[in-house]
Amino acid sequence: MYLPLLIRIKSKRSMKHLLLLFVVTLQLHTAFSQCTPQGNPATYGTNNVWIGYVYNNMDFTSYRGYINQGNSGNPNFDQNFGGDNVSFPTNGCSVTTETFSVRYRLTKYFAPGNYRFIVGGDDGYRLSLDGGSTWAINNWSDHSYTTTTYNISLDGTYNMVLEFYENGGANRISFNLTTLCAGTENTSVYGTNNIWNAYVYDGTNFNTYHGMVNAGSVSNPNFDVNFGGSNVTYNTSGCGLQTETFSVRYRLRKNFSNGVYQFTVGGDDGYRFSIDGGATWLIDRWILQSYASTTSPGITMNGNYDLVVEYYENTGDNRVTFSMQQLMVLPVTMEWLTISIKNNQTYIDWAVSSDSNPKIFEVERSVNGNHFESIGTVQPGAGSTKFSFVDNTVGEGHYYYRLKITDLDGVITYSKVEKVSIAGRNSGLTVYPTIVTGNSFNLKTGSALKNVQVTVADLSGKIIHEQKIGNVNAGQIISISSNRISVSKGMLFVTIHSADGYNITQKLLVH
């Protein structure tokens, strides 16, 4: 069967018109079937407007063009590309919404604060805050639409990259950014007058700071807190906190009169207690548990101390408690203590009140004012109130001295700390490199030394490495290595001590 002829050619003129129509139609078809992708895929969007670079494959190949998402007031968006298996236009060429991918880029400034990112996708998605070097959110697999939440503290300008791919079926990518409430206090400040500063964090390891509360009273530093109950909102100076998976750091600077004190700390879950600002833990029960408490032995204290109680709650019930009591007032009373230098020797002289009952004095020395060691003892005679001791084992450097006093009842107390400086021979100690990026450094001395011991301490005086070297020849290179050095970022103090009187400290910076 023949189809009817729709166009009857009556003349040569009609033939020319038909040919012209065919050429125009062919040109239009060619124009629509060929296009040039627009945009530079390496460029970041600004002012909360993402640039999304669209590709015709799932692995960011066969670039087609770009789209924009977000607006000047808000970078959030939710895109489904017009539906499943349809033609989606870009600034450049269209893409069919099957087996394609999009890489969104946005440079954004974040004021100091806490932020929450929620990214969702069908199929794979991932979010980076450092230009794609690492992924804060990474759900790079085939799946139906799902979301991932990520909380972080930010401050400054970040190059954000959001990547998405679609394998088949439905498609969708969404981005949501919100600012979380945050505390504004300086969390290193200690409370005073028996009132603790308690810094509250979301997360069991002091992750995101929410705000401050107080504990204790002017008359008594003791406290017992249950945060209003399990899984409820607990208000702070900044943000409310849900009482699941959180932590609190309590700080109090307190003056103790000369005496013996005992501390009891309890918690559900983990707790620990320090009297030296957190450098060491007098009580340490940092585990998941039902409520339990721990009591310290009697501690002799005299003067100002930086008390820290740390607590975390995982799930379920929560409670943290602190109490202290003074067991006795010490009978030994120091009248005076003087330190003097003569002929590169240290003379320590002191006196106690006539009603004191000392059993023994121990003279202690330190090179950093925090870590002390005993260098001798003085046994008081009957009725004696004045005493002295000579330290002739020191070389050039700075030294700290104190007395450890034990009375007839076995109670221990300490004198105040005195500092002296001695100028003398120099061993020519060299520490290199002075800026350390790994876990080792070298020492070299300009003279021979006997029974050398090397100590590495941090700014708080905490010893992070000790090493006995033995005898050292002049110019000998000593290698010091410890994994604890590489994790102790910041300033360290390296002290070399020898049996023939050298005790010299130099600084070391660890990056």
Percent of the chain with pLDDT over 90: 53
How high is the pLDDT of residue 381? 80
The dihedral sign for the CA sequence 24, 27, 32, 37: negative
Q: How far apart are CA 305 and CA 283, in angstroms?
A: 16
How high is the pLDDT of residue 132? 96
For the ranges 65-79, 169-183, 403-417, the lowest mean pLDDT is seen at: 403-417
pLDDT band at 9 (very low <50, low <70, confident <90, very high): very low
Nearest Cα neighbor of 82 from 171, 176, 175 is 171
Q: Which residues pair with 440 in a beta bridge?
A: 481
Helix (H) or strand (E) holding 238: none
195: number of Cβ within 10 Å: 16
pLDDT band at 174 (very low <50, low <70, confident <90, very high): very high
Q: Which residues pair with 378 in a beta bridge?
A: 361
For the ranges 11-25, 321-335, 455-469, the lowest mean pLDDT is seen at: 11-25
Residue of 17 and 147 predicted with greater confidence: 147
How high is the pLDDT of residue 472? 86
Q: How far apart are CA 285 and CA 293, in angstroms?
A: 9
What's the average model confidence in pLDDT over 186-206?
95
pLDDT band at 6 (very low <50, low <70, confident <90, very high): very low
Residue of 169 and 485 predicted with greater confidence: 169
Is the pLDDT assigned to residue 508 strictly greater than 70?
yes
| Contact (Cβ atoms closer than 8 angstroms) between residue 121 and residue 139 | yes
How high is the pLDDT of residue 501? 64
Q: Three-class SS of residue 62?
A: coil
Q: What is the pLDDT of residues 399-457, one digit of tens each?
A: 889 999 988 777 788 888 888 877 654 556 788 887 888 888 888 877 778 888 888 88
User: Left if phi > 0, otherwise alpha if psi is -120 to 50, otherwise beta: which for 95?
Assistant: beta
Q: How far is CA 141 from the centre of its chain?
A: 31
Sheet of 334-342, strands arranged across: 334-342, 345-352, 386-391
Residue of 424 and 506 predicted with greater confidence: 506
Tokens of 477: 């290179």
What's the average model confidence in pLDDT over 31-45?
83
Domains of the chain, start order: 50-178 (2.60.120.1560), 196-329 (2.60.120.1560), 334-422 (2.60.40.10), 430-510 (2.60.40.1930)
| Contact (Cβ atoms closer than 8 angstroms) between residue 137 and residue 148 | yes
Is the pLDDT assigned to residue 18 strictly greater than 70?
no
What's the average model confidence in pLDDT over 46-70?
97
Q: How far apart are CA 393 and CA 245, in angstroms?
A: 53
Q: What is the pLDDT of residues 474-483, one digit of tens each?
A: 888 888 888 8
Q: How far apart are CA 237 and CA 342, in angstroms?
A: 56
User: Left if phi > 0, otherwise alpha if psi is -120 to 50, otherwise beta: which for 486?
Assistant: alpha
Is the pLDDT assigned to residue 2 strictly greater than 60?
no
How high is the pLDDT of residue 3? 39
Q: How far apart are CA 373 and CA 454, in angstroms?
A: 14
How high is the pLDDT of residue 20? 47
pLDDT band at 5 (very low <50, low <70, confident <90, very high): very low
How high is the pLDDT of residue 262? 95
Q: How far apart are CA 89 and CA 382, in angstroms?
A: 101
| Contact (Cβ atoms closer than 8 angstroms) between residue 93 and residue 35 | yes
How high is the pLDDT of residue 184? 85
pLDDT band at 384 (very low <50, low <70, confident <90, very high): confident
359: number of Cβ within 10 Å: 15
Mean pLDDT of the chain: 87
Most distant CA atoms of the chain, gap in Å: 144
Q: How far apart are CA 380 and CA 408, in angstroms?
A: 11
Q: What is the pLDDT of residues 273-303, one digit of tens each?
A: 999 999 999 999 999 999 999 999 899 888 8
How high is the pLDDT of residue 26? 41
Q: Which residues pair with 347 in a beta bridge?
A: 340, 390
Sorted by sequence, the CB contacts under 8 Å of residue 501 that are 6+ apart come out as 392, 393, 394, 395
Is the pLDDT assigned to residue 269 strictly greater than 60?
yes
Residue type, 203: G
Token look-up 């084992």 returns 393
pLDDT band at 169 (very low <50, low <70, confident <90, very high): very high
Q: How far apart are CA 469 and CA 435, in angstroms?
A: 22
| Contact (Cβ atoms closer than 8 angstroms) between residue 231 and residue 244 | yes
How high is the pLDDT of residue 246? 96
How high is the pLDDT of residue 492? 83
pLDDT band at 14 (very low <50, low <70, confident <90, very high): low
3-state SS track over 344-410: CEEEEEEEECCCCCEEEEEEEEECCCCCCEEEEEECCCCCCCEEEEEECCCCCEEEEEEEEEEECCC
Percent of the chain with pLDDT over 70: 91
How high is the pLDDT of residue 393? 76
| Contact (Cβ atoms closer than 8 angstroms) between residue 105 and residue 159 | yes
| Contact (Cβ atoms closer than 8 angstroms) between residue 430 and residue 448 | no
